[in-house]
Amino acid sequence: MTNAQILAACRSNWEYRGVDDASLREMLDELSAHLEDAEAAGRSAQDVVGRDVRAFAASWARARAPLSRRAPRTVAMACFAAGWLLLGAYLIRWTTAVDVTAGFLAFWPATGTATVAWELRRGSIGLGRSWLVGLAVGLPAALLASWLAGGGVLFTLPLWAPPLLLLPGLPYAVADARAARRRRKAEAEAGV
C-alpha cells in the first residue's frame, strides 16, 4: 500500500468510529509524519502500521478514544440500526404491532452484538461480510432460543417502539452524514 492509501484507510476507519475532526486531523498529520520518516529512513510503510492497516487504525482509535467515550455512540447507533430493522418488520408485515418470540428476541441482539463487536475489534470488513458474521452467531442463537422456549409469543411491540429506538442514534447519524458530505466536498475541491 502507498502512504496515501494507508492514510485514506485510516481516515475512513476513524471517521466510522466517530473520531472528532480535530483529533482526526491531528492523527492523520502524526501518521503522515511517521510514514514520511520511515520512508526517509529506508523502511516500508508496513514497518509503521503493520500488516493489517484496519487493525492498526482500530487500535489507535481505541487508544485515542477510551471505551467510556465510545460506548454511548456505539449503543446509540446499535439502537438506531435496531430501530430501522424493527421498522422494516412492521412494514413487511404491514401491521401496527409485531409479535416477539424467543427466536426473534435472541436473533437480533446476537446478530447485532456480534456485528458491533467485530467492527469495534477489527474495523470495518464491509456490510456483506459483517452481516455474515452476525448471521453465523444470530441463527444458532435464534434456533436454540426457539428450541428451549418454544415458539409462543412473549410480548407484542407497538408501532411507537421503532421511533423510540431511532431517537438516540439520530444525532450521531446526522453528524456522520454531515461529516461525509464535508469530506466529499473537500475531496472534490482538492481534485481527489
Which residues are CB-contacts of 49 (< 8 A; sequence separation ≥ 6)?
6, 10, 31, 56
pLDDT in tens, 117-167: 776 666 555 667 777 887 899 999 999 999 999 889 999 999 999 999 999
Residue 142: phi and psi, rounded to 5, are: -65, -45
User: What per-residue confidence (pLDDT) applies to 104?
Assistant: 87
- Under DSSP, the state recorded for 96 is S
The pTM of this model reads 0.59
pLDDT in tens, 58-110: 888 877 776 677 778 778 888 888 888 889 889 988 999 999 899 988 988 88
Are 76 and 18 spatial neighbours (Cβ–Cβ below 8 Å)? no
Q: How far apart are CA 35 and CA 180, in angstroms?
A: 25
